[in-house]
Amino acid sequence: MTTVTIGTATATRIEEFYRADWDAPAFFPDWRKEDIESHLGWMVPDHYDPAANALKLSIHSWLIRAGRRTVLIDTCIGNHKPRPARPKWHLMETRYLQRLKEAGVRPEEIDLVMCTHLHADHVGWNTRLENGRWVPTFPNARYVFTATEYDHWTAANAKAPVPPFNDSVLPIVEAKRADMVSGDHHIDDLVWLSPTPGHTPGHAAVCFGRDGAGGVISGDLMHSPLQARYPELSVAFDTDPAKAAVTRRTFLEHYCDSNTLCCPAHFPSPSWSHVKRWGDGFRCEPAST
């Protein structure tokens, strides 16, 4: 667990797990062996396992304290969730809530839960199992979803069941704890959304802070720092790979050489970095803050 102070806000990384589970050529359809060979010096051991040809990704949330609000962003996979299609995620048991407690926050103290998008590894702890029912894990929180994202998964679920949507999103709506907002919605002057479509239609980054001292939770805009070096490198499960690539480059251009800390969803600890230019691409330079 690591915490960074950004202006008057703090961001704490709450990790669920971190391991080399992701076959690189399957993850990146445009994967080329020569792309990685020149980067082994910095990709190994934190981001890539050459023996397994596997990417090492972290699954974690960000706990933001900004002003009077305590905000949890992206709630990982969750315990007891049936995910037979992903055996390593199936019916998991982790210490996630204990780690949240170790960060000084109880579930009932969370004011807002914000999901950059509604994939399984970003919504799981929205709910917990209680007497056979999925109920909100954070009972006093408002859960913020973009309307575009919610509508996309509502339509998909109508065609074929989407388990994470049914056990981690719909129970929040049924409990009347959900707020459907636009992709550029402002919670207040310290926390707001910025639309970053491509990975999913309603994907949004979460921005926080002010006065030149801010951070941005980029969600699945990037899974690996290799995508900063090669912004055109999209993942197999992007809804619109071409749009994701354009959004990624636009995002990196916007934050390049700025004071804003970029906090991706899947980079290992400490995870926050400054975006710097690197040839015709970029690099995520770990911040010492």
> What are the tens digits of pLDDT across the range 205-216?
999 997 666 999
**Across all residues in the chain, what is the average pLDDT?**
95
Q: Which of 193, 75, 203, 185 is nearest to 138 (CA)?
A: 75
Q: What percent of the chain has pLDDT over 70?
A: 98
- Domain count for the chain, please give it: 1
CATH (domain of 99): 3.60.15.10
Give the mean model confidence (pLDDT) for residues 68-80: 97
Rg over CA atoms, the chain = 18
CB burial of residue 147 (10 Å; 0-12, 13-18, 19+): middle
Q: What is the pLDDT, as a whole number, of residue 47?
A: 95
> What are the tens digits of pLDDT across the range 82-107?
999 999 999 999 999 999 999 999 99
> In angstroms, rounded to a whole number, what is the distance separating the alpha carbons of residues 109 and 71?
9
Whether residue 255 is predicted with pLDDT greater than 80 in this model: the reply is yes
User: Position 252: which residue type?
Assistant: L
47-51, 118-122, 172-176: least confidently modelled range = 47-51
Domain of residue 281: give its range: 2-286
> What are the tens digits of pLDDT across the range 152-181?
999 999 999 999 999 999 999 999 999 999
